[in-house]
A = this chain, B = another copy of it.
């Protein structure tokens, strides 16, 4: 880790923390998927955000886009080795989240009962 990496690392971190990126990557874990397949699977996502997320992932080299020139068009998205690599790290993070959700929930509960009024002042509370 050298100096000056902060901005770049922050950029990548915020991409991971982005609302949809991780969900898309996890959705592609098993097999390539079409646009509307992804949309149905993630469901809460809008077409606009799915398109934007996929485009960003393709640009970053995490996902490939393959279109046939059939009609109706079919476009397949798949993870690249880089994306698959990220999947592993993200999965560790998710695993940590699952393993520690008890502790976090307990901490919140105790904080909130000790300090009921502060609750809504906290971000994402």
- Report A's interface with B, CB cutoff 8 A: 1, 5, 8-19, 22-23, 52-53, 55-56, 58-62, 82, 85-86, 89, 92-98, 100-101, 103-104, 106-108, 111-112, 118, 121-125
Given contacts A100-B85, A122-B55, A123-B56, contact A94 B13 (CB under 8 A): yes
- Bound together, the chains give a CA A93 to CA B17 distance in angstroms of 11
Closest residue of B by beta carbon distance from A105: B8
Where chain A touches its partner, the secondary structure class is helix
Interface CB pairs A-B, < 8 A, 13: A9-B94, A10-B23, A12-B97, A13-B97, A52-B122, A56-B125, A59-B111, A60-B104, A60-B108, A61-B111, A82-B107, A85-B96, A93-B93
